[in-house]
Amino acid sequence: MTHAHTRYRVITRGSGLITLVLISSLASAADFPQRVESANRSNREGLSRAEIALMKAKKGPGKDAGAEFFMKRFAQSKSQITTAGPSNRTTKKERIDVMGQGWGLKVYNDGTKVRYRNYGALDSKMNLAKPATQKMSLQQLESVGRQFIDSHLKDVITLGPNESLVPHFTQHQIIGGGATAPGAKPDEDRVVASTVVFSRAIDGTPVVGPGSKVAVLFANDGSPVGFDFDWPAYEPAGKTQKLLDRANIQKRMQQLASVKLDAPNVKVQRLECGYYDAGNKKRNPSNPIQAGCLVQSVTREIVDPALNSKDPNSGHILRATIDPIPVGVTVEPDASWPHAAKFHGAQLPRAGGPAPAPQPPATR
């Protein structure tokens, strides 16, 4: 990751005095400019509007119908996105898994979350590995990603009025290694595949969280070898939600985040505000899609001060935390979102921990 952008951080002190402090941000070089700008805007202004229209996710066709749809769509395909040949189908409560020769298709719940991979095809192209410095650019990936979505997913990646498909970030699969002989230097890293991820904006407000994402995976020769999406159609919920301003978003963050965000060893790596869609597996379709800010923070805890003082790269532990903070002035009930549920006195059921391991025999 490279960390090259600048943002504002708000620190709340004592009796509500709010100070804006300019600090260095940690946006990734793999982020498209739209995501960088969105993060900068979130840091400066929150959602930069006074209210939003609440949305609802429409129910999809179901996992059976979804699986049938994609099995048929790619049955005659001549590309590496194919469902041709024998396959084995397994139905579980939450999803359908179809495994073919080298490929796999998963369709979840109401059919609005789908993952297809032809890893057999990707693994057959390992000879195309090239130095990591020659990986596909943001522009190349956006272009081939849009082409794929237009050609193959246009009827499932639908956009409502005032909605847009926004390039989000890229990801690269990279291999490396080295001889184990003492003093051997690692070999040069090589890229073997790249993914482009798109998100959705509604009236210019981004959708944050796992929902409203579509990704396409490409081999190094530019051929698509996989795609996935979590993409329900939205419709207005018939209500608006007034939004906190930036200073009050900060207060809400301090109140709800699982980390003390202004502690000296905590870095906020991302703050992104918009409509919060927790994704197909978490979203409760009866609840509206409301406003939220995602806070990603990293805590570097020194656990061995003596060692750390001698070697700054040792003696530490990392903790990486993500908190979705509801930022409506009034938070809509959402029992599947713990931070929002707190406003309505709801306690979500949680898993308990296991017992300690029994003592082993005293001697080996």
Site for other proteins in 189-228 (CB under 8 A): 192, 197, 208-210, 213, 215, 228
Beta partners for residue 301, in sequence order: 317
Q: Which amino acid is at 179?
A: A
Distances (CA, A) of 163 to 202, 230, 284: 5, 16, 21
CA distance from start to end of the chain: 44
The reply to whether 173 sits near other proteins by the rule CB under 8 A is: yes
The reply to whether 355 sits near other proteins by the rule CB under 8 A is: yes
Quote the least distance from Cβ 257 to other proteins, whole Å.
11
Quote the least distance from Cβ 303 to other proteins, whole Å.
7
Quote the least distance from Cβ 110 to other proteins, whole Å.
17
Window of 23-31, 38-46, 237-245, 326-334 that interacts with other proteins by CB under 8 A? 23-31
CA distance 209 to 273: 10
- Interface with other proteins in residues 83-112 (CB under 8 A): 90, 92, 95, 97, 99, 104, 106
Burial 56-69 (b: 16+ CB within 10 A, else e): bbeebeebeebbeb
CA distance 291 to 244: 10
Binder of other proteins out of 86, 303, 306, 345 (CB under 8 A): 303
Binder of other proteins out of 8, 11, 23, 28 (CB under 8 A): 28
Quote the least distance from Cβ 297 to other proteins, whole Å.
10
Q: 19: helix, coil or strand?
A: strand
DSSP code of 147?
Answer: H
The reply to whether 188 sits near other proteins by the rule CB under 8 A is: no
The reply to whether 1 sits near other proteins by the rule CB under 8 A is: yes
Number of residues that bind other proteins (CB under 8 A): 82
CA distance 360 to 46: 54
The reply to whether 278 sits near other proteins by the rule CB under 8 A is: yes
CA distance 49 to 141: 31
CA distance 135 to 167: 17
The reply to whether 332 sits near other proteins by the rule CB under 8 A is: no
The reply to whether 334 sits near other proteins by the rule CB under 8 A is: no
Window of 145-153, 241-249, 306-314, 326-334 that interacts with other proteins by CB under 8 A? 306-314
